[in-house]
A and B are shown apart, each in its own frame.
Chain A
Amino acid sequence: MSDRQFVIPIGPQHPALKEPTSFYFTVDGEVVVDVDPRIGYNHRGIEKAMEARNYIQNLYITERVCGICSNAHQTAYTGAVEEAGGIQIPERAKYIRVFFHELERIHSHLLWLGVAAHEIGFDTMFYYVWRDREIVMNMLEEISGNRVNYAMPTVGGVRRDLQKDKFPKWHKMLDALADRTNYYIKVASNEQTILDRAIGVGYLSKEDMIRLSGVGPNARSSGVPCDTRKTAPYLLYDEIPFEHIHVDNGDVLGQVLVRVLETLESVKICKWVLDHIPEGEIATKFNPMSKLAEGEAAFIVEAQRGELIHYTISDGRNMPYRHKIRAPTLANIPSLVERLKGGYIADIPIVLAGIDPCFSCTDRMAFYDEGKDRSWAWNGEQLRIHGLEWYKK
């Protein structure tokens, strides 16, 4: 390391968000030269805990892996257990699972859009987006009783039914969401405040993205067509008409576009489900004490942050022998590191937020000036303000 380069540790603690992560940035002036990620500050031993609990108890553990993708984790978990045990679920349950999968995607993408607007200093848009996000939050609360952790899928089906008399109202709410999302597409592709901070920032090419096995909107913003709902359809996705969204931008603007366009597709899917849902049972009986057949299954779903795998091995008891979970953020860290290299310190918050990580951008940054024995510390807010001030020059 030359005299000109400094190491900046960022993280790991952030009081507002789960899953803290630490990064060691090597900087040369304003330019990031190297990044070393360090995770595991919130390693809760979930895979070990699942080996000692039965399949119904594990349902509640998997839901709490992550607050934002709770339903995606349950969808993947129930899918893996049902495949390993050969359990069939009723048609209506599949529709309800898809409905919640997509509602959760809408709320997560809108949440991300608000956070991204905040990181680039466009707080007006942040407030607008989060106001509109309340529409989908209200829908989720109306059906499940919860704003997060909806506890909808269970082994063998879903836990709550959709009431038919509410469908017209939900159609109206979904229309309102589509209206607002169309407006944000217009804003994101025309508003100079966004374009100045998004075009060319954190660029990664398609070849590098494939090489580093990136997933989700992060990979699709670099032009990799990797939506599991299209490439390997699960539940009902082979019947549902929707577009496979991917753009070739490769920068933060690409990530904004992928997410707003996907929100629109999700609204379409939700409306399709409400139009086509058949009558019938919502769950088959599954006794938590009953033994599951011996077997193994790897179930991959497209969570809102990317490809999510649950791999389960059953040895014929009523609890898994081994259950492996890989959440999308881990898969996106190698490509995130490449995105950050060569960028400016001022762009760290938006590029970090760009992959929609489960950890926040930055909490405390300590700057060590190696040659002059000088150090100072910034918190995330000060770093964000530094970014805004830096771009005013």
Chain B
Amino acid sequence: MSVEEQIKVVQDLVEKFGEENVYDTKNPRLYKAFVTVKREKLRDVIRYLKEEHGFVHIVTITGVDMKDQYQVVYHLRSGGYNMNVKVPVPKDDPKVPSITDILNGAVLYEREVNDLMGIFPEGHPDPKRLVLAYDWPEGVHPLRKEWDIQTLREKVDGKKWGKDVE
């Protein structure tokens, strides 16, 4: 596969869904692409990529706290071609539609993002905790930037971190 063919896949996506829904596209090198997609169109884009361009493999899902908003990155693969679909998520409504019914491999990754970044996958078949302990306090999502080691320690252990540690 050449870079030109890869750029065509991204262009096809922009043409199909429109520039207002698929934007900020990048092809930094062979086998790599980054696109940003509106949350409302996420499921359609994932389904279109799977059915038309063979992106059947999901590598992982990353949640990122971008200070003014969250971002969920879906790392998809078709053979060697790695497409990274970014979805901006507003801070006051941290939810994304679940894609587990389209790509079954996403089942654990969505639970992981829900635990660590607090972005709820709507429509997930079993959205219980995956990596956090059962006695971890509700509403504490450690990878959000508002939590650092001091505030986490106070919240979870009730102790200050640093000088007060015996």
The minimal Cβ–Cβ distance linking A70 to chain B, given in whole angstroms, is: 20
With contacts A212-B105, A213-B58, A334-B105 taken as known, whether A40 is within 8 angstroms of B75 at the C-beta atoms is no
In the bound complex, do residue A311 and residue B132 qualify as a contact, i.e. CB atoms below 8 Å apart? no
With contacts A40-B130, A232-B80, A298-B82 taken as known, whether A333 is within 8 angstroms of B108 at the C-beta atoms is yes
The residues in A between 316 and 347 inclusive whose CB is less than 8 angstroms from any CB of B are 322, 324, 326, 330-331, 333-334
Interface string of A344-356 (1 = CB under 8 A from B): 0000000000000
In the bound complex, do residue B107 and residue A311 qualify as a contact, i.e. CB atoms below 8 Å apart? no
A213 / chain B contacts, CB cutoff of 8 Å: 56-59, 103-106
A210 interface residue per 8 A CB criterion: yes
- Say what secondary structure dominates the interface of chain A: mixed
Look across to chain A and name the residue whose beta carbon is closest to the beta carbon of B84.
A298
| Of listed B32, B34, B65, residue having the most chain A CB within 10 A | B32
With contacts A231-B79, A232-B81, A298-B75 taken as known, whether A309 is within 8 angstroms of B105 at the C-beta atoms is no
With contacts A296-B34, A331-B105 taken as known, whether A40 is within 8 angstroms of B131 at the C-beta atoms is yes
Q: Can you add 6 more A-B contacts, CB < 8 Å, to A40-B133, A211-B56?
A: A43-B131, A211-B104, A213-B56, A232-B79, A326-B109, A331-B105
The minimal Cβ–Cβ distance linking B33 to chain A, given in whole angstroms, is: 10
The minimal Cβ–Cβ distance linking A77 to chain B, given in whole angstroms, is: 15
Complexed CA–CA distance, A228 and B31 (Å): 11
In the bound complex, do residue B104 and residue A40 qualify as a contact, i.e. CB atoms below 8 Å apart? no
The contact sample of 29 A-B pairs, CB cut-off 8 A, is A40-B129, A40-B131, A43-B132, A45-B142, A48-B142, A52-B149, A211-B56, A213-B57, A213-B58, A213-B104, A213-B105, A232-B30, A232-B31, A232-B81, A297-B28, A298-B32, A298-B84, A300-B59, A300-B82, A309-B75, A311-B73, A311-B84, A322-B62, A322-B64, A324-B60, A324-B62, A326-B59, A326-B60, A334-B107
Complexed CA–CA distance, A186 and B121 (Å): 48
Complexed CA–CA distance, A84 and B132 (Å): 30
The minimal Cβ–Cβ distance linking A217 to chain B, given in whole angstroms, is: 16
The residues in B between 40 and 67 inclusive whose CB is less than 8 angstroms from any CB of A are 56-60, 62, 64-65
B143 interface residue per 8 A CB criterion: yes
B81 / chain A contacts, CB cutoff of 8 Å: 232
B57 / chain A contacts, CB cutoff of 8 Å: 210, 213, 226
Complexed CA–CA distance, A45 and B152 (Å): 12
A83 / chain B contacts, CB cutoff of 8 Å: 28-29
Look across to chain A and name the residue whose beta carbon is closest to the beta carbon of B129.
A40
In the bound complex, do residue A211 and residue B105 qualify as a contact, i.e. CB atoms below 8 Å apart? yes
Complexed CA–CA distance, A38 and B106 (Å): 16
